[in-house]
Amino acid sequence: MTEKLLIDGDTLSVAEAYAVAVGRRRVELSPRARQRMLRTRAVVDDIVKRNEVVYGVTTGFGKLSEVAIPPEKLAELQVNLVRSHAAGVGDRLPEPEVRAMMLLRANVIAKGFSGARPELVDVLLQMLNADVYPPIPEQGSVGASGDLAPLAHLALAMIGEGALIKGDRESEAAAILTEIGAKPVILGPKEGITLINGTQAHTGVALIALVHARALWRTAHVAGAMSLEALMGTPVAFDERIHDARGQVGQKRSAALLRDLLAGSEIREAHRHGDPRVQDPYALRCMPQVHGPVLDALDWIDQAISRELNAATDNPLVFENGETLSGGNFHGLTVAMALDFLTIVLTHLATIAERRIDRLVHPDLNHGLPPFLTEDAGVNSGFMMAQVTAAALASECKVLSHPASVDTIPTDGSKEDVVPMAMGAAWKARRVLRNVENILAIELMCGAQGIDFRAPLRPGKGVRTAHERVRDIVPRLETDRVLSADIAALMSAVSAGKFADIGSPI
């Protein structure tokens, strides 16, 4: 059993968060963080005792922040906040994304700047460790004052209202909490706003998408190398000297991976001499110049998300010296921009892969392969429609690449007058990620068919491994059959990272 992850609000990594969200690693609150939380909670208790006017503690929220709340109404204020903000609509967030959101909310509260009791984190971790999660609608957040609606649906379950899901069963939250040995939270002053203020819904989506995008980056090289071999392209364009001359880090790493995947190719040796083609088309020749910047972008996105995992995004912030400061750390533009950037760079992987697919099936461009990669073309259509599907997905990626974060609509009586639309950016990034997984599945399927037609010549060692894995999942296309099941099977393997470990680490 993997050792429990200790969270302290300061040291959580993308890999650790992914292990909890997807791998169901168990979690525990660090004793040091627990003590820190108790100290700032004492500050909040003192504010209430002295009946000071502090936003979110003894006042209303947002546009209603000028309304002072009498002491006897403070508990009602926090519960009403959770209920009123649980206004999400649409499809539910997938379980891994909800688990990521739960973990990140627990981690930010553990920082101590929220002024909340450790009991809030304890309940969140009990739910995570029991594989229990609430249904969270994915629409309704603009990412300013945080992801208010999604986090309110989570908070609703924590106070024993709404529903919780355990396995394939959805029941009343209070009943499921009792079943796992947890007690519904009775909210104290400031604890309602503590649970719903923050960037954890869209950041949870972002961290999972980032991990999968890194795997897709390697898979795109595997698929591209297979296409190059099938099209009898040349690896000369990946010569280390070319990429050293430019000096771009991602480009150099991309070329190195391609060289490794193509090493030892018999197909290459068969046309090394006497080939009249001087250069391959950009979709083959410029893979390092397109794939490389994607890696550079992923590294930047990783830094932004990694910082946000341990960021204090509550408002107001409570400090151990007794001060409370109201600001805007809940504003989600940092990760919203990173998600938009992720969508854009994934779209570049989609468009170049679709062009390689077109060359594989196009009888005028595929260097002697059968039309649409099928024998007896005409009677058989082969992979004609697979390329059409890839084109449809690539086109959708382009449409979705318009950044969500440049939009803003004032909300909350114009108190929140500049908002980043971060959940919209998250939804688009996830959608484009799935499209790219499908496009690369199609390229792997077509590339493997092309390699079959080059037999008995064998491709490079990495491509050879990839070809074997494709054939373990789908058989060679002899005559027309329904392709959607083949694409789905390969897409599932791509999503699971089954092609991402081919080739040397770079």
Beta strands in 30-184 (DSSP E): 89-92, 132-133, 137-139, 163-166, 169-172
Three-state SS letters, 109-129: HHCCCCCCCHHHHHHHHHHHH
Catalytic residue from among 18, 55, 133, 282 = 55
Is the CB of residue 214 less than 8 Å from the CB of residue 346? no
Picking from 141, 149, 152, the residue whose alpha carbon sits closest to that of residue 78 is 152
Distance CA 84, CA 188 (A): 17
Alpha carbon 389 to chain centroid distance? 23
Output DSSP code: residue 293: H
Peptide bond into 150 cis (omega under 30): no
Active site residue 282: no
SS3 content of the chain, % helix, strand, coil (to 5): 60, 5, 35
Is the CB of residue 434 less than 8 Å from the CB of residue 347? no
What is the separation, in whole angstroms, between the first and last Cα of the chain? 30
Output DSSP code: residue 198: B
Tally of CB atoms within 10 A around 114: 31
Farthest-apart Cα atoms in the chain, separation? 89
Q: Which residue has the tokens 């009792």?
A: 178
> No. of H helices and E strands in the chain?
19, 9
Alpha carbon 396 to chain centroid distance? 18
Q: Locate 458 and state its tokens.
A: 């064998």
Distance CA 268, CA 457 (A): 9
Q: For 59, phi and psi rounded to 5 degrees?
A: -130, 170
Three-point CA angle 330, 332, 333, nearest 5° = 135
Is the CB of residue 310 less than 8 Å from the CB of residue 10? yes
Is the CB of residue 444 less than 8 Å from the CB of residue 500? no
Residues identified as active-site: 55
